Amino acid sequence: MLHFNLGAEPETYDPGLAAGQSDGRVARILFEGLTHEDARTLEPQPGQAYRWEMAPDGLTYTFHLRPGIQWTDGTPVTAGDFRWSWLRVLEPRNAARYAGLLAPIANAEAYNRGAIRDADSVGIAAPDDSTLIVRLAQPTAYFLYLAQFYTYLPVPRQAIAKHGNRWTLPGNIVSNGAFTLRTWRQNNRFEFARNPRYWDAANVKLDGVVAYTIDDLNTSANLYKAGVMDWCPSGYMPSQFVPYLREFADFRHGSYQGVYYYSMNVTRKPFNSVWVRRALNLAIDRDAIANDLLKRSREPWGNMTPTGYPGYEHPPGLRYDPEEARRCLAKAGYPGGKGFRRISILFNTSEDHRRIAEAVQAMWKRELHIDVELSNQEWGSYLQATTGLRYDVARRSWIGDYLDPNTFLACWITSDGNNRSGWSSARYDALIHAAAREVDAAKRFTTLREAEALLLDQGPTIPVYHYSTNELVKPYVHGIYQTPLDVHPLNYVWIDRDWRRHAAEPSLARGGRAGDGAPPARGAARTR
Amino acid sequence: MSIGIAPPAHIGAVAPALAGERPASLWGDAWRRLRRNRAAVTAALFLAWMSATAALAPWLPMKDPAAQDLALGATAPSSAHWFGTDELGRDAFARVIYGGRISLLVGVVGTLVSLLIGVTWGATAGYRGGRLDEAMMRFVDILYSLPYIFLVILLLVFFSRSLVMLFVALGLVQWLTMARIVRGQVLSLKQQTFVEAARALGATDASIIFRHIVPNTLGPVIVYTTLTVPAVILQEAFLSFLGLGVQPPAASWGTLVSDGARLLALFPWLVIFPGIALSLTLLSFNFLGDGLRDALDPQDRSDVA
Amino acid sequence: MATFLLRRVLLLVPTLWAIVTVAFFLVRLAPGGPFESERDIPAAAKAQLMRNYGLDLPLHVQYLRFLGSAARLDFGPSYKFPSRQVREIIAEALPVSMELGGWALLIAIVVGVPIGIFAAARQNTSADFAAMGIALAGVSIPNFVLGPVLVLGLSLTLYLLPPALWEGPQSRVLPVLTLATAYVAYVARLTRAGMLEVLRQDFIRTARAKGLAERVVVLKHALKLGILPVVSYIGPAAARILMGSIVVESIFAIPGMGRYLVNAAFNRDYTLVLGQVLFYAAFLMVLNLIVDVAYTWLDPRVELA
């Protein structure tokens, strides 16, 4: 048995409707898609499909399903199930939050919008029970990785027809992954058992998995220390513990596809001035925040796209330059901060956000003589204020959907729902649209780089740090690796009962972790 | 008949001062009794010292509570920083003293808000009686029956999260008991002769309520007020635990303690010092309140006579 | 008695109606909604969700629908956890909170009442101050400090008890202690005050004059009346304590009602929060009714009108 902390209580683990990190974790334990991720590299491995091919034009993928695969109720998993599941996500009536991830499929977006009513015109076909043919709207280099995302997992139509939106409850649920759901006690725990009908059940070593839903970071860390949990995933222990844990073999640290930033509301004065935005950016000492305050649990970061895209070269990041910041502020018409109104930093209730905001407040006061007040709002009010552009400066963050800089840059085009800053630049929009149409990978990256440089120079953002994963894994647990998307397939995890004896051999004790230098995997993930 | 909760009987038990019958002697007796209560006197002295320190904080020789030193970070108590420093390298001693300013202010102002609403509401309901009384007290019952935390979260969500609104929100959830106590007192007082006399002399209702009746409910009100202050301070601390307390970088004892408790294993000094300040203050208010209750109880002549 | 009960039960309905009405408009007017999220949801999907839950209808229509579902005690599915009915969530969480709160309440009475009696019997002596000092310390240390301190000491250093979760009898110890301490203090103080008031009444003097042992006077004659303040306090306190505590439940990862209530209010999970509010109010009123009946039994002077 593996015991770990799932963290926040999942709102739903119906794969098509799930929309949060813990939602996705449960869905991935219970269901298997066409492919499944390699635990180290996240590269697609044969799953429900045992082979697939891409047509030379890059537009058509044909997946061949493994013979004999079954749902837990004994009915066969067919290509029709996949088609039905994907169309269910796109069905406007179901209001699936992540339907957008299926957009590369031909006509999927129009069907989701309700512009097309005919499901047969969507590029998903199942000519027979074991063949799924997917037609894309345009060549999408990362489609195989995208199709590993939990929104693409198959769901059992027979169970959904019978139980409606209660089909995921224990007793009702029918799944096809390595584990089945035994019990779910809300605000307490999930218990999973090995699925004997899983095609590779012989190689699944864990008898079962217990996932607790503990959102308090201290409680989570305490339970790991007390030996109740074997794995404390990233984000579920206080960041202050990190410097004290580095010594231990349990601790794993790595880079995570996310950027923490502040956005400025350019519809308000004085943020409409590009010089003010530059001044505020240059007055932030990112090293002090990430290294001193956060004790190197995160990396200081002056770019809006994270590391880890082979071939993409970042434009120079924003620096800390108080002299230049003061000059910019003077150019904006506020020499020495004179006449600058009192501004406010909005953040949602969290100790980490508050500490950072307090540090930023002090930096702006010290370097620019600007008075800043802090506005700590609970979640609902915070979201309302950011979406409604009722703030001056707001704490935000973005986690990559897929391993491409586009996921970090596309949201800053005019009136994108995630822009939330009022910023609009015709040139920036043109660059992003040009990159989307570009087929040549190198040229596409050059265009995106130009866009990022523009965003850093003129945009409404103040990048602060690059996310990292900081997790604790007991030395006797094998098969859990640090990955850049914080995705952890549990199929082949095993527990070494004799670990103390094996610990003499260093490779086993260390669990053969993928180091920071390992080639970054390509794939897709959405997490909050 | 009331659907809700009877006011705490130990407070109602304090009989009204019998106006017109030499109240000076009553207060004098109470004062004498209070002075004999060593616990209450110690508590009062401690509170006076704590309040003076908090009030005079800006003029006392100590470090700036807002000055940060990120490179320094959290350090244990030393001769440079008596109470150590917090994660942003701020002096914890200065933070505790300034935290006291906010906690005491929240406690006192929140209580005053509740006092103002509670006394006015309770006195009006009790004096007017009849339908109005019934309706006003039913309203109190309804608010009583809403979960406290639900009410206070929504109040804080509605109003912008300023310090003033925190006072108001805490006062708004605290006045109910006060209203009930005052109403109970007024019901028995309004039958008495001096009220009849004032009415016969043509005094208006408002002047009767506030000049004749309210002063005579003072005993129980003072006792309950003394016990409300620590309750409000504790509630602010609870809100800080939920992240709904005062806006940073200002920090109350509640904020300091709830932050510190999360890092107890790493930086124990960040919870120990504000925790001691908070606990001693709450303890003192409670002892003082109990002492006042004992002292103002006119039936208790045993140790005076 | 029968007419009294009937009247009270009949009055429950309009009062509950008023409570849910106030609660409904409070949550619905709070900014934000159940389907806001950090990542943009396509406008069409959001509109669809609103339609699915009837949130696109005019507010008064929603209110009437809500009243209908409240009358049937069926609030439908939670917005945040769509696979579950509000009823199921309450049915699952309530026994946990009841068990936790029940133990805490029991401890509060079993420990608090003797402390109060002891202190009252020795009013204004060092023994009184010491006993009350210990009791009041419980209300002077916030439980979000007490909980982590107990965990650090007893679980993570001495490894005597589990640090969290609600599995097995050992896991009950720390959360129950954490929750009970504040209530011990309240009960002790109310007992002391109640006993002091009774102990100086004539019938006690008579009993003493008859030469009865002090122990008999205190425990046999005075206690029954002296405990009245505690009884009237227990009603609302029990409602609060049995309906869960956000602090204790989140520190010890206990699947009780308190976390649901707070999170539902923060997430604007309208059905879940309103279901819990209604449940809480009904629970509180029933407990108050029980308290009033208990009063007549303990104090023959009280008559039910």
One-letter identity of residue A140: T
In the structure, what pLDDT confidence band is assigned to residue A465 with cuts at 50, 70 and 90?
Answer: very high
Residue C272, pLDDT > 80, answer yes
- Reported as a single tens digit per residue, the pLDDT across A31-68 is 999 998 898 888 889 999 999 999 888 889 999 999 99
Whether residues B248 and A244 touch (CB distance < 8 A) is answered with no
Distance from the A342 Cα atom to the nearest Cα atom in chain B, whole angstroms: 15
Nearest CA in chain A to B240: A349
Terminus-to-terminus CA distance in chain B, angstroms?
A: 38
Terminus-to-terminus CA distance in chain A, angstroms?
A: 27
Residues of A in contact with C252 (CB under 8 A): 219
CB atoms under 10 Å from CB of A488, counted, come to 23
- Check residue B24 and give its pLDDT: 53
Retrieve residue C116's tokens. 């109060």
Residues of A in contact with B249 (CB under 8 A): 358, 361, 374
Mutate to test the interface with C, among A151, A186, A415 (most CBs of C within 10 A): A186
For chain A, say whether C124 makes contact (Cβ under 8 Å): no
Residues 119-148 of A with CB under 8 A from C: none
User: Would you say A169 and A184 are in contact if contact means Cβ atoms under 8 Å apart?
Assistant: yes
- Reported as a single tens digit per residue, the pLDDT across B176-223 is 888 888 888 888 787 777 777 888 888 888 888 777 777 777 777 888
Whether residues B87 and A217 touch (CB distance < 8 A) is answered with no
Cα dihedral angle (C123, C127, C129, C133), rounded to 10 degrees? Answer: -130
Where does A226-273 have alpha helices with state H? Answer: 242-245
- For residue B95, what are the CA distances in angstroms to A326, B230, B255? 30, 20, 10
Retrieve residue A264's tokens. 């400025």
Distance of CA A316 to the CA centre of its chain: 25
Whether residues C48 and A218 touch (CB distance < 8 A) is answered with no
One-letter identity of residue A104: P
**Whole-number mean pLDDT of chain A?**
87
User: Would you say A402 and A523 are in contact if contact means Cβ atoms under 8 Å apart?
Assistant: yes
What's chain B's length in residues?
Answer: 305
- Check residue B7 and give its pLDDT: 43
Residues of A in contact with B248 (CB under 8 A): 354, 357-358, 374, 376
Q: If residue C52 lies in a helix (H) or strand (E), which one and from where to where? A: helix C43-52
Cα–Cα dist A42/A234, whole Å: 17
Retrieve residue C181's tokens. 């301490």
Nearest CA in chain A to B87: A293
Residue A145, pLDDT > 90, answer no
Where does chain B have alpha helices with state H? Answer: 9-12, 23-36, 38-56, 92-128, 130-145, 148-158, 163-189, 193-200, 205-207, 218-241, 253-262, 269-296
Closest CA to B257 of B223, B285, B234: B234
For chain B, say whether A359 makes contact (Cβ under 8 Å): yes
Residue with tokens 């000092």: C133
- Check residue A277 and give its pLDDT: 94
- Check residue A135 and give its pLDDT: 94
Cα–Cα dist A36/A20, whole Å: 19
Retrieve residue B256's tokens. 């300091």
- Check residue B8 and give its pLDDT: 45
Closest CB to C144: pick one of B3, B36, B241.
B241
Distance from the B263 Cα atom to the nearest Cα atom in chain C, whole angstroms: 9
Whether residues B142 and C229 touch (CB distance < 8 A) is answered with no
Residues 87-116 of A with CB under 8 A from C: 92-97, 99-100, 112-114
Residues of B in contact with A359 (CB under 8 A): 68, 70, 88
Retrieve residue A30's tokens. 């219970």
Whether residues B303 and C26 touch (CB distance < 8 A) is answered with no
Q: Over range C196-212, report the average pLDDT.
A: 79
Cα–Cα dist A368/A345, whole Å: 16
Closest CB to B154: pick one of C26, C129, C233.
C26
**Whole-number mean pLDDT of chain C?**
84
Nearest CA in chain B to A358: B249
- Check residue C1 and give its pLDDT: 67
Residues 356-385 of A with CB under 8 A from C: 378-381, 383-384
Three-state DSSP class for A279?
Answer: helix
User: Would you say A396 and A411 are in contact if contact means Cβ atoms under 8 Å apart?
Assistant: no
Q: If residue B214 lies in a helix (H) or strand (E), which one and from where to where? A: none
Residue B256, pLDDT > 80, answer yes
Q: Over range A427-439, report the average pLDDT.
A: 86
Phi–psi pair at A473, nearest 5 degrees = -130, 130
- Reported as a single tens digit per residue, the pLDDT across B70-94 is 888 888 898 888 888 888 889 989 9
- Check residue A503 and give its pLDDT: 65
- Reported as a single tens digit per residue, the pLDDT across B17-53 is 444 444 556 677 778 888 888 888 899 999 999 999 9
Share of residues in chain C with pLDDT > 90 (%)? 10
Closest CA to A32 of A161, A199, A159, A165: A199
Phi–psi pair at B245, nearest 5 degrees = -75, -155
Neighbours of C, requiring at least 3 CB pairs below 8 Å, are A, B
Distance from the B87 Cα atom to the nearest Cα atom in chain A, whole angstroms: 7
CB pairs under 8 A between A and B: 61
Cα–Cα dist A229/A472, whole Å: 10
Top pLDDT among A396 and A349 is at A396
- Check residue B5 and give its pLDDT: 38
CA atoms within 13 A on the CB side of C224: 13
Whether residues B68 and A218 touch (CB distance < 8 A) is answered with no
Top pLDDT among C30 and C95 is at C95
Closest CB to A358: pick one of B88, B156, B266.
B88
**Whole-number mean pLDDT of chain B?**
81
Residue C42 per-residue DSSP state = P
Closest CB to A418: pick one of C40, C155, C256.
C40
Residue partners of C71: CB distance under 8 A and separation at least 6: none
Most confident of A374-383, B274-283, C202-211: B274-283
Picking from A323-327, A513-517, B35-39, C110-114, which range would have the lowest pLDDT averaged per residue? A513-517
What's chain C's length in residues?
Answer: 305
- Check residue A246 and give its pLDDT: 87
Closest CB to B70: pick one of A293, A351, A377.
A293
Q: Over range A259-282, report the average pLDDT.
A: 93
Residue C162, pLDDT > 50, answer yes
In the structure, what pLDDT confidence band is assigned to residue A25 with cuts at 50, 70 and 90?
Answer: very high
Distance from the A354 Cα atom to the nearest Cα atom in chain B, whole angstroms: 7
- Check residue A404 and give its pLDDT: 80
Cα dihedral angle (B114, B117, B119, B121), rounded to 10 degrees? Answer: -140
User: Would you say B250 and B164 are in contact if contact means Cβ atoms under 8 Å apart?
Assistant: no
Residue partners of B243: CB distance under 8 A and separation at least 6: A349, A350, A351, A376, A378
Distance of CA B294 to the CA centre of its chain: 18
- Check residue C227 and give its pLDDT: 80
In the structure, what pLDDT confidence band is assigned to residue A504 with cuts at 50, 70 and 90?
Answer: low
User: What's the ipTM?
Assistant: 0.85
Q: Over range A75-100, report the average pLDDT.
A: 91
Residues of A in contact with C270 (CB under 8 A): none
For chain A, say whether B87 makes contact (Cβ under 8 Å): yes
For chain A, say whether B262 makes contact (Cβ under 8 Å): yes
Residue C164, pLDDT > 70, answer yes
Residue with tokens 């994270």: A306
- Check residue C303 and give its pLDDT: 57
User: Would you say B180 and B125 are in contact if contact means Cβ atoms under 8 Å apart?
Assistant: no
- List the beta bridge partners of residue A466: A259, A299
CB pairs under 8 A between B and C: 166
User: Would you say A368 and A497 are in contact if contact means Cβ atoms under 8 Å apart?
Assistant: no
Residues of B in contact with A217 (CB under 8 A): 262
User: Would you say C160 and C237 are in contact if contact means Cβ atoms under 8 Å apart?
Assistant: no
Distance from the C160 Cα atom to the nearest Cα atom in chain B, whole angstroms: 17
Residues of A in contact with C276 (CB under 8 A): none
Closest CA to C240 of C105, C137, C147, C132: C105
Whether residues C81 and A186 touch (CB distance < 8 A) is answered with yes
- Reported as a single tens digit per residue, the pLDDT across A508-526 is 333 333 333 333 333 333 3
Q: What is the DSSP string of A484-522?
A: TT-----TT-EE-TTHHHHTTSHHHHTT-PPPTTSPPP-
Preceding peptide of A315 cis, ω within 30°: no
Closest CB to A349: pick one of B88, B243, B262.
B243
User: Would you say C101 and C238 are in contact if contact means Cβ atoms under 8 Å apart?
Assistant: yes
- Reported as a single tens digit per residue, the pLDDT across A248-264 is 888 999 889 899 999 99
Q: If residue C43 lies in a helix (H) or strand (E), which one and from where to where? A: helix C43-52
- List the beta bridge partners of residue A135: A60
Three-state DSSP class for A61?
Answer: strand
- Reported as a single tens digit per residue, the pLDDT across A293-314 is 988 889 999 999 998 887 889 9
